[in-house]
Structure formats: structure tokens, C-alpha cells
Chains A and B, each alone.
Chain A
Amino acid sequence: MFPSYIENPSNICFEGQDQDETILLLLRAHPITNLKWIIPAVLIFLFPFFIPTVLVNLEVDGLLNLPSTYLIIFIVINYLLVLVISFEGFLYWYFNVYIVTSKNLVDVDFHSILFKNIDLAPIKNVEDTSSSMGGILKSIFNYGDVFVQTAGAVKSIDFLSVPNPHRVSDFILDQTHKLGGT
């Protein structure tokens, strides 16, 4: 439903896209990288189920004698926290994208709330590309980083944790050669 490697995507465009510019490749971090927010969200989701047992074992079960309204509010706040973590995690994953168009390389980053950074580099300025894949998860799920050196003001564009890094690296270089770049 939410792929992280899409060739020639339809129905997708980005801010600043030219009329004659087509998106050739859209990338985002591999879905497995979402585990870093999914695991805490699941743990916090399960928290209310375990806390009574823990409090009884620690003999501080006086907290369970609070009025039921308070306990309900604690549970509501707990699930609001789960909602915030899940929604934020999804937003960052979904909207942090790397785009290869017929003209440019585009790196859209949202580092934190309300901070947006877009790196743009003409594809004809690409000098060389490299890809790296190391670690257990990266090897199993075939994802890694692609580093693109350019001749312009933006010295390098890094595509982090993208699927098929070697293929992406080769794809970018092929596009550069087609446009008569390095």
C-alpha cells in the first residue's frame, strides 16, 4: 500500500516540479526502518494491561484506588501518546522522500516539526554515485545508503536507508549518461 521504491509513479508530484519534468523514481526509507517508532508505540499501547500487575507486585497498588475517572483519563492520555507517536512516525516516513526526475535529484527532508529542507541538484551535474549496505537488517531486507556527488552548490545528496541501493545508484548514473553528464 505504501511502497518505498516506485518507478515512474503516477498521481504524484512535488512542490516546484516543472511542466516538462517527469518523476522517474520515488524513494523513501525502507518500511522496516519504521520499527524504531512501531516498537515503542506497541509497548506504550500494552502499558495499561501490565501496569496493575506491576503495581501489585511492587506493593504500591494504592495508585489503583484512585477514582475511576482519573484512571480513565490516564488511559486516554496513554492512547493519545500512542496516536501521536504513530502519526508522527508515519508522517516522517511517508513525506521524507528522495526523487529522481528527468532533470533533477530532489531530497525532501522534514527534520523536525515545521522544519523543511529540500536539496535539489541537476542530474547532469552528478559526478559519481556510491552505495553502501552494511549490517544485519540491511543485508536481510536489502536496503542501504546511496551517496551522490554533484558539481553544484549542493556537494552531495544522500539517499538514506533506501531499498535496492545498488540499483538506485546505477539508475542515477544511467540517467546522467543519458543527459550527457559525467
Chain B
Amino acid sequence: MPVSPSDLLSLQATLLFIKIAILTILILYAIFALLIVRQVDLMSKTLITPVSQVVKAI
């Protein structure tokens, strides 16, 4: 079945929407990762155990 121009436009719009959603999620993840690094640092300073260093390294 031939693809009509409106179907193609709809598909491209959907793909663009998905791309923007993926980029937003990845940006949020990057911010969250920074917060986690800070949090692990705070936790490792509060309770010092051999595992703290491993968690910090991860």
C-alpha cells in the first residue's frame, strides 16, 4: 500500500516527539546522576565503612 504524504508527516512528527522525549529523559538523568554523586559523597562522609569507598567508586 503506498504511503500518503499525511501519513509520512504524522510518522515524522511522532519520531520528532519521541526524540525530544528521549533527550529530555537523558538530560534529567544527567542531572539526577550529579545529585547521586553528591549524595553518595555526603553518605560516605557520614558513615565510613569499607563499602563506602566501593560505592563512591561506582
Which chain B residues lie closer than 8 Å to A66 at the CB level? 15, 18
Give Cα distance in the complex from A94 to B51, angstroms. Answer: 9
Tally A-B pairs: CB < 8 A: 57
Q: Given A70-B18, A94-B55, A114-B39, decide whether A12 and B47 contact each other with a Cβ distance below 8 A.
A: yes
What A residues does B49 contact at CB under 8 A? Answer: 11-12
Query: What DSSP secondary structure best describes chain B's contact surface?
Result: helix
Residues 119-178 of A contacting B (Cβ, < 8 Å): none
Across-interface contacts of B42 in A (CB, < 8 A): 110, 114, 116
Mark out the residues of chain B between 11 and 53 whose CB falls within 8 Å of any chain A CB in the assembled complex.
Answer: 15, 18, 22, 25-26, 29, 32, 35-36, 38-40, 42-43, 45-51
Q: Which of A2, A15, A113 contacts B51 (CB 8 A)?
A: A2
CB within 8 Å of A: which residues of B? Answer: 15, 18, 22, 25-26, 29, 32, 35-36, 38-40, 42-43, 45-51, 55, 58
